[in-house]
Amino acid sequence: MDQIVIEGGRELSGEIPIAGAKNACLTLMPATLLTDQPLTLTNAPRLSDIRTMTELLRSLGAEVAALQDGQVLALSSHDLTSHHADYEIVRKMRASNLVLGPLLARFHRAEVSLPGGCAIGARPMDLHIEGLSALGAEIELRDGYLHAKAPGGLKGARFEMRFASVGATENIVMAATLAKGTTVLGNAAREPEIVDLVRCLRAMGAQIEGEGTGTITIEGVDALHGATHEVVTDRIELGTYMLAPAICGGEVECLGGRVELLESFCEKLDAAGVQVEQTPHGIKVARRNGRLSAVDVVTEPFPGFPTDLQAQMMALMCTADGVSVLEERIFENRFMHAPELARMGAQIEVHGGTARVTGVERLRGAPVMATDLRASVSLILAALGAEGETVVSRVYHLDRGYERVVRKLSAVGAKLSRVKDGGGDE
């Protein structure tokens, strides 16, 4: 298994291009199932999660071609052959469940495996099921699969979600585009990836209003058509790379970054003493004046502080001056990076959903293990600012959500390399 070896302690300077959003692309790809005409996605990220979704869509009979070095995805669901999303693929990635709504909408039936356990918490699908049932779907769980059908098609309805789930909002909105009549989704998630999905669906002929607010209204249409859509910037990759100069010192411009994708995160960086500036090309981040101050963080649905940046923020707080309290309110088991950071000398106490970090002057390199996607990149960030060498193992987690990490960070002066099984670099 590959490892990443990092020699810490270098200031960073230069530019890092930010890719299209993984989480947007993973919901835009299944939108192909809603139409028999071609859907083209540009600015797609090159990630293993995207390859997993490609594999899943192909297993349903869709055509998916990765063009221009993987940055353009040409999709077609002209001749689908199956409505069965198999456990062998779904278990690799929870976002596989995003085929449920589109399959139900277009074919009035779907069989989708439950994703199963996930390292960062239970992550059930009850909200997806309740929402689609409100649209008239009959869904039962048998043999680990959701068996869903909607004889005669889905029908628009009012549905209020108990919690603003991102995935459930996406599934319900996609399903409602082809339902008969009007759907009003209350307490909808407001994440930029949902706004991006709605923009794409609208380009495909859907009638939707209210994206980015808590109420989304969808007027069902008879059919959707083809479109070309540019995937929104990955705000989590953006926030991750903004933290690199904040941890190491120096100045880095994250190309394509926009502050409105990450307002609450940018406010926290500012409060900690990091300089954040919107430029015409992206976001410039600088840290020049010695040690940062500890800040407290509570993860919340958008526009709150994103749970997907909590681990990386913890890496920053490890060497800030004072005590930082990080409260995780979205996922119940999302501090697996804490004991790994402790191996590097961080002082962290975890009690339930709260982590208390007492900043130390400096972390020291150590062998550490990646446990999930965001945890893995938090270890890399911490290692970049640490004294000496860190070896991060199990980096396949990283490949799910970060393209060309070694190349992007090396270009701004970081010293790190990927070591293949039998030696040799990326």
Residues at the site binding ligand UD1, with contacts judged by CB under 6 A: 23, 26, 94-95, 121-128, 163, 165-168, 193, 307-308, 330-331
Q: How far is the CB of 329 from ligand UD1 (least distance, A)?
A: 9
Phi, psi of 242 (to 5 degrees): -65, -30
Which residue is catalytic, options 25, 118, 254, 318?
Answer: 118
Q: Is 118 a catalytic residue?
A: yes
Which candidate, 347, 337, 350, places its Cα nearest to that of 310? 337
What amino acid is encoded at 288 in this protein?
A: R
Q: How far is the CB of 128 from ligand UD1 (least distance, A)?
A: 5
Q: How far is the CB of 80 from ligand UD1 (least distance, A)?
A: 22
Residue whose CB is nearest to ligand UD1 in the complex, by number: 167
Give the residue with the Cβ less far from ligand UD1, 45 or 167. Answer: 167
Give the residue with the Cβ less far from ligand UD1, 147 or 291. Answer: 147
Phi, psi of 177 (to 5 degrees): -60, -30
Q: How far is the CB of 114 from ligand UD1 (least distance, A)?
A: 11
Q: How far is the CB of 378 from ligand UD1 (least distance, A)?
A: 14
Cα-based torsion angle of the residue sequence 171, 174, 177, 178 in order, rounded to the nearest 10 degrees: -80
Give the residue with the Cβ less far from ligand UD1, 164 or 392. Answer: 164
Give the residue with the Cβ less far from ligand UD1, 83 or 302. Answer: 302
Give the residue with the Cβ less far from ligand UD1, 25 or 252. Answer: 25
Contact 15, 255 (CB under 8 A): yes
Can you tell me the distance from the alpha carbon of 296 to that of 323, in angstroms, rounded to the nearest whole number? 8
Catalytically active residues, by annotation: 118
